[in-house]
Amino acid sequence: MRVEMWFDFNKDSYETLINLEQAIGLFYHAKKVDVLFRSLPLVDSNYVFHEAFQYGRKKGLGFEYLKSIFEIYFSNQNLLGSCHKLALTYGIEYKDLEHNLMDHKTHKIVCNQIEHATLQKIDMTPTITFSHGFRLQDLSTIEEIKLMLIKMYEKDSGIKYCIEEDCER
């Protein structure tokens, strides 16, 4: 089951990110959920943060790495100055991350994702898209996200979501 979260570096995207992580943690079939984070910078100054995330995504990093970049963003720290800490924390090459940001090596990935958002008529962040066309826009609660995960599961499996022992299967 595929979930895509379209985000920019803003308060609502961060809150939705946290809620998404918690909702998946509460979802019985969490291991079947594949999450992809999609960059949709609405402010030019945020591109560099998206580029830093896309660099880490290419290295297999997800929720925790993205939350760390949000923390840097909200603390108004210099992203380049924070590369060393990110590298140590996540086991990535400091110089490689730094060069990626200075040379804008993942900028094309961010631009490509913006094109995909346009094709899917996504123009606000946060937006969460789910398999089978389900979508949540704007700040989403844990319950709203979990409900969509259940709908997606039921559509995928063709059976009613039930985690009790006496479920009819």
What string of DSSP letters covers 102-160?
A: HHTTTHHHHHHHHHHHHHTT--SSSEEEEGGG-EEESS--HHHHHHHHHHHHHHHHSS-
User: 29 pLDDT band (50/70/90 cuts)?
Assistant: very high
- In degrees, rounded to 5, the angle at the alpha carbon of residue 44 between the alpha carbons of residues 136 and 65 is 60
Helices (H) and strands (E) in the chain, counts: 7, 4
Alpha-carbon span 132 to 91, nearest angstrom: 36
Answer yes or no: is pLDDT of 167 > 70.
Answer: no
Mean pLDDT value across residues 81-100: 94
**Domain regions of the chain by residue span:** 2-157
Protein fold of 2-157: Glutaredoxin (3.40.30)
Alpha-carbon span 158 to 151, nearest angstrom: 10
User: 88 pLDDT band (50/70/90 cuts)?
Assistant: very high
- In degrees, rounded to 5, the angle at the alpha carbon of residue 58 between the alpha carbons of residues 43 and 3 is 70
Whole-structure pTM value? 0.91
pLDDT tens column, 38-71: 999 999 999 999 999 999 999 999 999 999 999 9
Mean pLDDT across the chain, nearest whole number? 94
Higher pLDDT, 141 or 156: 141
pLDDT score for 158: 86
